[in-house]
Amino acid sequence: MYKKIASNTISQIFSKAGTAIIAIFLISVLTNYLTVELYGLYSKVYNYVGIFVFLADLGLYAITIREITNNKEKSAFIVGNVMSLRLILGIFILILAVLIAFFLPGYNSDLALISIFISSIFTILQLLNSSILALMQANMKVEYSAFTLIFGKLINLFGIAFIAYVLYPKQFIENSDYFSPFIYIMIVGVISVFVNTLMNYFYARKIVKFGFDWDFAYIKHIFKISLPYGVALFLSVVYFKMDIMLLSIMEGEAIADRNISLYSLPMKIVEVIMVIGGFYMTSILPSLTQAFKQRDEKTLSKLTDISFKVLTMFSLMVFVLGILFRKYVILIIANKQYLDAIPYNSADAFLIVFAVILFYFISLVFIYLFVASENQSKLLKINIFVTIFNFIGNIILIPNYSFMGAGFVTLLSQILLLVLGYFGTKSLVKFQFPIKFLLINTVFAIFIYVLGTVILNNFSFEGINKYWLYIDFFLYGGILFCIYLVFYFVIYKKFIKKFV
């Protein structure tokens, strides 16, 4: 079982590593092509529609995996009905998103409304694609989806690059003639996800023949069981995305778009990394579900312990290397405008955002325990509380501290979610925080941070070589990364062997 989990996870990590690299290039193209304010609008639109994506998703991805895992012989029936439900929800959400945006300050310009409409079509395709991926994930056959995902992302990257460098060169943006290129950028995103969905559909039909299906009784059943988790998932995303919307509403449009851009740059980069944790836990989900069904407490404890340690190790490494090289990342991917802003810039936002990652990864373990054990209602209550806390915190801090206040509230919300998740799952699985493990990793993380600071302050190639930025980043970043890997290999050799 563990080898199958490892194989499934590795293929998804490979997929995410590939898409992460593409996403970084995409962010670079957009931040260097669009003005700071326009990149803020781009981020704002996708952030806004992203809220509705999770509302329409209803947590059906994880629930579908669980349903198929428990009823393999009904795979085609389950996927077909989930696709029908998602199509209806997607169309409803498309209409709702555009209607609400029409009355929201900062979202009701012609450019914003058209962009929201286009990205809502993108959303419907994503929802259908997610249904197909759930079938592949439940059967632990996600290797092909790694290829299709990367292929779709490449279409998006090259399509936007073609618009930026060939069809509408940068002078169009500088002369404020940005309407057409911006719309074409949004359309390319729809084309890329359409190709991805189509390729996954034809491959998944090799596992089982399926298509749209309609059984009202089953659709009602799956809607009912997914609703608590779906609302909980929606609320967990809302407090990640609420800050952008509140920034847009509470600050003037020009200032808001600029601040959203400065805040969104680190958030976009971090979101790429955050997906890895979700994919890891999705790989574990079928095994967790089976263990709960069979009441196998030993396997449950082992899977929880392994997941906690893997995600903690990874998140600590990302946190330390992220805060050490945050300015390098901004200059390599974007430009100096994102560092020169006052009173806060993107480097300041990175500090908080990377801290959010640390607690986000660890909290995923407890979130998925709720799902696997069919305790979505508990998760819903926790997320309602955290969302209310987040909303009140943003209302208080945004007027005085702008996106830095929003980021700080998001960090506190994530810590609160972790604490409540841990205590909420104590009755479901036997698990105690491994204090010795956490202490060793924390001490080593501090050591790496101090070592990295000394190296960058005293041995930087700045002023020596015109490519100093890249040399420092790849040379010293690579060295510190390798030290981390050696540490993990030596200290956790037995643990790694047991896992693979």
**Residue bearing the bigger pLDDT, 73 or 261:** 261
Are 362 and 473 within one domain?
A: no
Q: What percent of the chain clears pLDDT 90, i.e. is strictly above it?
A: 25
Instruction: With CA atoms as reference, report the closest residue to 114 among 159, 181, 57.
Output: 181
Question: Is residue 176 very low, low, confident or very high in pLDDT (cuts 50, 70, 90)?
Answer: low
Judge whether 264 and 84 are in contact, CB under 8 Å: no
Are 211 and 279 within one domain?
A: yes
Burial of 117 (0-12, 13-18, 19+ CB in 10 A): middle
End of a domain among 414, 433, 452? Answer: 433
Instruction: With CA atoms as reference, report the closest residue to 492 among 443, 440, 428, 425.
Output: 440
Question: Is residue 322 very low, low, confident or very high in pLDDT (cuts 50, 70, 90)?
Answer: very high
Average pLDDT over residues 146-162: 91
**Residue bearing the bigger pLDDT, 497 or 115:** 115
Does the structure show a pLDDT above 90 at 34? Answer: no
Does the structure show a pLDDT above 90 at 194? Answer: yes
Each residue's pLDDT tens digit, 230-241: 777 777 677 777
End of a domain among 433, 461, 489? Answer: 433
**Residue bearing the bigger pLDDT, 29 or 65:** 29
Are 420 and 334 within one domain?
A: yes
Q: What percent of the chain clears pLDDT 70, i.e. is strictly above it?
A: 92
Are 426 and 478 within one domain?
A: no
- Any idea which residue has 């890997």 for tokens? 485
Question: Is residue 343 very low, low, confident or very high in pLDDT (cuts 50, 70, 90)?
Answer: confident
Are 409 and 463 within one domain?
A: no
Are 423 and 287 within one domain?
A: yes
Are 211 and 315 within one domain?
A: yes
Question: Is residue 275 very low, low, confident or very high in pLDDT (cuts 50, 70, 90)?
Answer: confident
Are 315 and 448 within one domain?
A: no
Are 384 and 246 within one domain?
A: yes
Q: What is the pLDDT of residue 4?
A: 55
Are 171 and 257 within one domain?
A: yes
Does the structure show a pLDDT above 60 at 406? Answer: yes
| Residue 366 lies in domain | 2-433
Are 424 and 473 within one domain?
A: no
Are 330 and 467 within one domain?
A: no
Quote the CA–CA distance of 286 and 301 in Å, as a whole number. 15
Quote the CA–CA distance of 126 and 130 in Å, as a whole number. 6
Q: What is the pLDDT of residue 304?
A: 86
Each residue's pLDDT tens digit, 123-143: 888 888 888 888 887 776 667
Quote the CA–CA distance of 229 and 371 in Å, as a whole number. 7
- In order, the DSSP letters of 364-411 are HHHHHHHHHTT-HHHHHHHHHHHHHHHHHHHHHHHHHHHHHHHHHHHH
- How many structural domains does the chain have? 2
End of a domain among 384, 399, 433? Answer: 433
Instruction: With CA atoms as reference, report the closest residue to 186 among 378, 300, 30, 319.
Output: 30
Report the mean per-residue pLDDT for the chain.
85
Each residue's pLDDT tens digit, 243-254: 888 888 888 766
Per-residue burial over 69-79, b if 16 or more Cβ lie within 10 Å, else e, is beeeeebbbbb
- Any idea which residue has 């509140």 for tokens? 246
pTM: 0.78
Each residue's pLDDT tens digit, 7-23: 565 666 677 778 878 88
Quote the CA–CA distance of 224 and 236 in Å, as a whole number. 19
Q: What is the pLDDT of residue 494?
A: 60
